[in-house]
């Protein structure tokens, strides 16, 4: 691994994460400014640590020469949504953007993993402007509901403790929790219009109160 200058190697990935977080947060703001429902609720991002990259290289038999093309999640963005339908709306938005190119998609919502994991993964090719010109890097965007994200965060924490080899009881409880989480999403989808109407009413009331306060000053 000594051949790779890790600090230098990770600079464009860090830049990509910073830029993409700003772009998706601005996209959310754009929907809200137009008084429309935003399919994006929260946006976070991270760059894989060097230790995590090395571990995955060993586990997946990825060579240094093929690292940039074979490891698609060195730069990672996570978009959280209120509803399952929002996930697919966000995926459509990614396809029509001209500042990135969708390379691969994996739908773990329609086809959940045996563990119960659900999410929608999109791998994009994203251009980065560097001192030496433009380079294209791969980044992975995970799109999921708030409920899916809660389950995934807990499962990820347990994975650190058990190294993926969960006791049978915990494994079964995680699966049941995943199903309960998805049932929650399904129920919320059934009353989605009511929820959105209530949220819009709250937003309008808050705006009216703010305007009224401003007029009294």
pLDDT tens, position by position, for the chain (217 residues)?
457 899 999 999 999 999 999 999 999 999 999 989 999 999 999 999 999 999 999 999 999 999 999 999 999 999 999 999 999 999 999 999 999 999 999 999 999 999 899 999 999 999 999 998 999 999 999 999 999 999 999 998 888 788 778 888 998 999 999 999 999 999 999 998 888 887 776 766 766 666 666 655 5
Strands 42-47 and 75-81: antiparallel
Is 140 tagged catalytic? yes
Q: What is the pLDDT of residue 161?
A: 80
User: Is 83 in contact with 145 (CB distance < 8 Å)?
Assistant: yes
The whole-number pLDDT of residue 198 equals: 79
Q: Does residue 6 sit in helix, strand or coil?
A: helix
Per-position DSSP letters for 56-78, written without gaps between them: HHHHHT--GGGHHHH-TTSEEEE
Q: Cα–Cα distance between 123 and 159 in angstroms, integer?
A: 24
d(CA 148, CA 100): 26
Q: For 98-129, give one letter per residue: b (16+ CB within 10 A) or e.
A: eebeeeeeeeebeebeebbbbbbbbbbebebe
| Tokens of residue 97, six digits | 């953007």
The residue from 8, 125, 140, 155 that is catalytic is 140
The burial of 21, by beta-carbon neighbours within 10 Å (0-12 exposed, 13-18 middle, 19 or more buried), is given as: middle
Given the candidates 3.30.460.10, 3.40.50.2300, 3.40.640.10, 2.60.40.10, the CATH classification of the domain at 6-203 is 3.30.460.10
Query: What pLDDT does residue 217 have?
Result: 57
Look at residue 43 and give its three-state secondary structure: strand
User: Which residue carries 């996930």 as its tokens?
Assistant: 87
∠ Cα 126 123 60 (to 5°): 115
pLDDT of residue 1: 43
């Amino acid at each position: 691994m000594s051949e790779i200058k890790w600090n230098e190697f990770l600079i464009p990935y860090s830049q990509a994460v910073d830029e993409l977080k700003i772009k998706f947060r601005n996209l959310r703001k754009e929907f809200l400014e137009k008084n429309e429902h935003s399919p994006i609720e929260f946006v976070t991002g991270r760059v894989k640590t060097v230790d995590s990259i090395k571990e995955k290289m060993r586990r997946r038999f990825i060579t240094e020469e093929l690292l940039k093309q074979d490891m698609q999640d060195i730069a990672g963005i996570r978009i959280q949504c209120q509803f399952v339908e929002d996930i697919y709306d966000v995926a459509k938005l990614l396809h029509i953007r001209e500042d990135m190119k969708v390379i691969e998609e994996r739908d773990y919502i329609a086809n959940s993993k045996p563990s119960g994991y659900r999410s929608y993964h999109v791998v994009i090719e994203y251009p980065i402007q560097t001192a030496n010109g433009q380079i294209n890097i791969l980044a992975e965007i995970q799109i999921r509901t708030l409920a899916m994200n809660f389950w995934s965060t807990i499962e990820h924490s347990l994975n650190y403790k058990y190294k993926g080899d969960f006791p049978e009881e915990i494994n079964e409880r995680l699966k049941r929790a995943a199903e309960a989480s998805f049932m929650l999403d399904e129920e919320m989808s059934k009353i989605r219009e009511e929820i959105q109407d209530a949220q819009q009413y709250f937003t309008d009331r808050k705006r009216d109160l703010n305007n009224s306060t401003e007029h009294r000053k």
